[in-house]
Amino acid sequence: MLGKDALSVFDNVTVDGKGINKYDFFDSDGIDKSVPGTVAKTIVSFLPMLTPLAPYYSGALVLRELFKAAPMLYGIGSALFTDNTELPMLNTIAGIANRFSTSTSDYAKDNMFSFENFGNLVSDVALQWGQQKFIIKSFQKLSKNSEAVIDAAKGKALNQYRRQANNLLNSSRNGEIKIGRVRELTGAETKEGFENLIKSGDWEKTVYGRAAQE
């Protein structure tokens, strides 16, 4: 996709030069773009950020940008392991994603300091702010989910340790195993001792504690 322009779907909503096209503020592939059209396009582009749909809108934009960057990311990664740094399918996906980006008029492309470019800058800043919030919240959710999984695993390990420790203690009372062996494996030789180890967290360092966690 380098050096190529993809025709935006927003430029095809109306037919150029006919009827309602002069009111189509999303159509930006012409020679220039009017100030009212630029203002309307800028407002509408970030208006969803002010509604309950903001997380979904931001997520869709993040996904679009990831698809657009897919060939580059693949090229960087594959260059470390192989000489084949291009995957045609990713170029197709990037092309489709680029079509869902709005275009810029010829005048704005040739003139950096134009009202249209200023409007694009304003909308880009607002949309990037929303995308960054979406990314941060996504990582926070992943982090919380990871912590919940770890806590659940530790809980299962603790229950396993307590059950095995009590089984060993009962076996010692029946004369099937020496109490010294119970202490060697579990770190204690009474139920009160087991509970003290659990409260202090030292149960994790015992033979049975490590085995339960594994």
- Do 99 and 151 belong together in one domain? no
Asked if residue 96 and residue 157 are part of one domain, the reply reads no
Asked whether 48 and 130 are in contact (CB, 8 A), the reply is: no
Q: Does 36 have pLDDT greater than 80?
A: no
Give the rounded distance of the alpha carbon of 183 from its chain centre: 47
In whole angstroms, what is the distance from residue 127 CA to residue 42 CA? 11
17 plus 104 within the same structural domain: yes
Do residues 38 and 86 share a domain?
yes
The answer on 89 and 183 residing in a single domain is: no
Q: How far apart are CA 133 and CA 85, in angstroms?
A: 32
74 and 159 in a common domain: no
Q: Is residue 172 part of a domain?
A: yes
Residue 130 belongs to a domain: no
In this structure, are 93 and 15 located in the same domain? yes
The answer to whether residue 122 is domain-embedded is: no
Residues 6+ apart with CB under 8 A from 101: 6, 8, 64, 68
Total number of domains in the chain: 2
Q: Of 87, 111, 135, which marks where a domain is finished? A: 111
Residue 144 burial (CB count, 10 A): 10
1: how many CB neighbours lie within 10 A of its CB? 16
Q: Are 102 and 156 in a shared domain?
A: no
For residue 186, is it within any domain? yes
Domain boundary (96, 111, 126) is at 111
In this predicted structure, what is the pLDDT of residue 23?
Answer: 45
pLDDT in tens, 96-150: 777 777 766 666 677 777 777 777 787 777 778 888 888 888 877 777 777 777 7
Domain end position, chosen among 65, 83, 111: 111
The verdict on 159 and 208 lying in the same domain is yes
pTM: 0.47
The verdict on 101 and 18 lying in the same domain is yes
Q: Which residue has tokens 């009474």?
A: 190
Per-residue confidence (pLDDT) for residue 206, from 0 to 100: 86
Give a yes or no: residue 142 inside a domain: no
208 in any annotated domain? yes
Q: Is residue 128 part of a domain?
A: no
Examine residue 26 and state whether it is found in any structural domain, yes or no: yes
pLDDT of residue 97: 74
pLDDT grade, residue 69 (50/70/90)? Answer: confident
Bigger pLDDT: 15 or 158? 158
Host domain of residue 50:
9-111
